[in-house]
Amino acid sequence: MTAEAGLSDTLRDLPVWTPDPVELADLELILAGVYRPLTGFLGSFDAAMVIAGGRLADGTPWPVPVTLSVPKELTEHERVVLQDPEGVPLAVLRVAEAWQDPTSQAWRLAGPLEALRAPAHGPFHSLRRRPDELTPREGTVLGVATRGFLHRKQLGQLRQVAERLDAEVLVLAMLSGEHDESLVRALLGVRRELPDGARIIPVPLPARGGADVQDERDVLLHAHIAAAYGATHLLADREIEGTAIPVAVPEPWAYDADVEVWRPVARIEPDHVQAELTPGRLGELLDAGEPVPDWFTPPAVAAELALARPPKLSRGITVFFTGLSGSGKSTVARGLADALIERGGRTVTLLDGDVVRRMLSAGLTFSRDDRDLNIRRIGFVAAEITRHGGTAICAPIAPYAATRAEVRRMVSAVGDFILVHVATPLEECERRDRKGLYAKARAGLIPEFTGISDPYEEPEDADLTLDTSRLAPDEAVGKVLDLLVEGGWVRPA
């Protein structure tokens, strides 16, 4: 694939590639100067040194490997145009090294970047700033990098640390691709509770992982980003060595039930400390549609929490059936759709494998690449239905675990995902064989047929497993309905 028209003649014939969301964020931050001193994606030696010791090969501290994965065929080129998901060229990568990651076996390209245009941004684009677009502030600037909402406790701690340092405040909203608009609206909603003159800047930075070491490296990266934006200190919940700027750790705070305010624990009588609302309990309140208490968070934040995590009864959901051809997944999926429509209260869209093949994926073959593309298309449509509060019921074969996981990630970013494995034995599926497909596959007339000449990777993460050789269709539908009722997505009959 080569670059589109609109580029200069010298670039038009270059190959193009669309990085994944993390790599696109890295690309933007490199070009904006936020990742200084990086000027491009890292090579094998730099990446290995960062992973091993948190430093580039020249000894410069750097916390995370900033790399670019590509198909192997792109490793043969000297320059590659990097574009956004809509096909807009953003930069040219001058390839200094093509290398294979020894852990993941992925092929990667390294080298400096030449900017072509700034990335396009949607909501709140007026808040986006490059570091060189900000007027430098004199004195102390406290950077606050957050992916989550600031509740009354965090707001109080922030104000206390800012007062202690006599600092202005810079809030960096770390955008992850999930509920970004709610996060920014919530921060704007509590602006009056921040110190005067506080600035709020959205920064694209999807999470890279949740392990302890990664959490520490996230703080190190946040410190680099905050420093690039002019912060002299970073608010963090613990001291970490090697940060680009000093870390300011707030003292413990709690809610004083006697005087009904949040304040330092040292100033509260032990029997007056009210237990904090845990993330689990907060999730339960939101799932049930119950109000978040005012003592815990300001009303503006509570409203955005409810938008970001609607009650389960009105939250979008995808029920994704997977199984061999003839397993009965389409029958159960249709029965579930009918049952939900009969109960009312939810909009339902059935994305059956055969119907999707005729309408959404007409022209695709049954090669592995095309089968994966078919499942991604189903996942994309299901995610959009889920995003808008609907119920998507999908019933493809979906034989590959990696592609199912990709669909789960797409849907889970905007709602809930339920995986149902219809684990009817192959022998029973062949016995049914109403379309004669298994017989043709056994005869070699259908190549790459799942279960015969191509593998079916059984799910290890199914939320429910059904065997329709042992269950009548109504019984199988009932088990799925029971799961949805018990989970809170559907009202009891």
Which residue from 279, 290, 349 is spatially nearest to 488, judged by alpha carbons? 290
Q: How far is residue 448's CA from residue 142's CA, in Å, rounded to a whole number?
A: 59
**Six-digit token string for 371:** 């089968």
3-state secondary structure of 81: strand
Q: From the CB of residue 377, how many other CB atoms can be counted at a distance below 10 Å? A: 16
Q: Cα–Cα distances in Å, from 91 out to 24, 76, 87, 88?
A: 11, 18, 12, 10
Order across the sheet with 391-395: list the strands: 348-352, 391-395, 317-322, 416-422, 464-466
- Do the Cβ atoms of 485 and 491 come closer than 8 Å? yes
| pLDDT in the model for residue 9 | 65
> What value does the CA radius of gyration of the chain take, rounded to a whole number of Å?
26
| pLDDT in the model for residue 214 | 47
| pLDDT in the model for residue 91 | 96
- Do the Cβ atoms of 173 and 128 come closer than 8 Å? no
Peptide linkage before 37 cis (omega within 30 of 0): yes
Q: How far is residue 201's CA from residue 162's CA, in Å, rounded to a whole number?
A: 18
- Do the Cβ atoms of 89 and 7 come closer than 8 Å? yes
Strands (E), 21-133: 40-41, 68-70, 79-83, 89-94, 97-100, 107-115
Which residue from 490, 463, 480, 437 is spatially nearest to 333, judged by alpha carbons? 480
3-state secondary structure of 130: coil
Which residue from 25, 82, 35, 26 is spatially nearest to 56, judged by alpha carbons? 35
203: enclosing H helix or E strand: strand 199-204
Which residue from 147, 319, 161 is spatially nearest to 219, judged by alpha carbons? 147
**Six-digit token string for 450:** 């799942």
Strand partners, 89: 83
Amino acid at 209: G
**Six-digit token string for 375:** 């499942």
Count of CA atoms in the C-beta half-sphere (13 A) of 178: 17
Q: pTM of the predicted model, to two decimals?
A: 0.87
3-state secondary structure of 419: strand
Which residue from 67, 66, 79 is spatially nearest to 17, judged by alpha carbons? 79
Amino acid at 155: L
3-state secondary structure of 12: helix
Count of CA atoms in the C-beta half-sphere (13 A) of 264: 9
Q: How far is residue 139's CA from residue 370's CA, in Å, rounded to a whole number?
A: 58
Q: Which stretches of 115-231 are DSSP H helices? A: 152-165, 180-189, 212-228
Q: What are phi and psi of 92, to 5 degrees?
A: -110, 130
170: enclosing H helix or E strand: strand 168-175
Amino acid at 226: A
Q: From the CB of residue 464, how many other CB atoms can be counted at a distance below 10 Å? A: 17
Residues of the chain under the 50 pLDDT cut: 3, 5, 210-214
For the packed helices 180-189 and 299-308, what is the interaxial angle rounded to 10 degrees? 170
Burial of 121 (0-12, 13-18, 19+ CB in 10 A): middle
